[in-house]
Amino acid sequence: MKLHTLSPNKGSKHRVKRLGCGESSGHGKTSGKGNKGQKARSGGTVRVGFEGGQMPLHRRLPKRGFNNFDYKIVVFPVNLSSLEDHFEAGAIVDEAALRACGVVNGRCDTVKILGTGEITKALTIAVNAVSATAKEKIEKAGGTIQLAWFFAPC
């Protein structure tokens, strides 16, 4: 293979649209921009939502209500059945361990253990929150619970 033998793949290169090369070229005179107006000028682009100086719709409509997005607390629920499947007896279950075995993933502020399923192993649970049913089942199996911190919404 030599440099002078290299060529692009068939169909990957297109002819350049030659604008303003006479009326018979198919793109002559106004070069596909129509007649006059802002969009026919050089640099004549209009930003999204611009209405020619008129007050745009997104500013005309009233802004109402409360948006909880900034204050939302993301709670990741984990069932006892998941703990039974992924951990051996005597293991320490915290957020890092849950992420390592793939039970918890993505962004979350709080991990809460829920009581769905059964548990037979004595585990040390160190998470943010535990439901009453889960607490009862964990203690019945001989496990202990240490609430790492409890994030209560304001």
In eight-state DSSP terms, residue 24 is G
Whether 56 maps to a domain, the answer reads no
Whether 52 maps to a domain, the answer reads no
Evaluate whether 130 touches 78 at the Cβ level (below 8 Å): no
Q: Looking at the predicted structure, is the pLDDT value of residue 13 above 90?
A: yes
What is the CATH number for 111?
Answer: 3.100.10.10
- Of 113-122, 133-142, 143-152, the one with minimum mean pLDDT is 143-152
Whether 131 maps to a domain, the answer reads yes
- Asked if 133 and 88 sit in the same domain, the reply is yes
Nearest to 113 by CA among 136, 90, 91, 142: 136
Residue range(s) defining the domain that contains residue 26: 19-46
Residue 129 to residue 150: CA distance in whole angstroms: 6
Query: What are the Cα distances from residue 94, in Å, to 81, 106, 148?
Result: 16, 15, 9
- Asked if 89 and 32 sit in the same domain, the reply is no
Whether 140 maps to a domain, the answer reads yes
Whether 42 maps to a domain, the answer reads yes
- Asked if 96 and 35 sit in the same domain, the reply is no
- Asked if 86 and 30 sit in the same domain, the reply is no
- Asked if 36 and 90 sit in the same domain, the reply is no
Model pTM above 0.85: no
Whether 60 maps to a domain, the answer reads no
Query: What are the Cα distances from residue 53, in Å, to 47, 49, 105?
Result: 12, 10, 47
Confidence of residue 150 (pLDDT cuts 50, 70, 90): low
Evaluate whether 78 touches 111 at the Cβ level (below 8 Å): yes
- Asked if 78 and 41 sit in the same domain, the reply is no
Which one has a higher pLDDT value, 82 or 23? Answer: 82
What domain count does the chain have? 2
- Asked if 37 and 84 sit in the same domain, the reply is no
pLDDT digits (tens, 9 = 90+) for 18-51: 888 888 888 888 888 889 988 889 888 889 999 9
Residue 115 to residue 133: CA distance in whole angstroms: 5
140: enclosing H helix or E strand: helix 132-140
- Asked if 82 and 141 sit in the same domain, the reply is yes
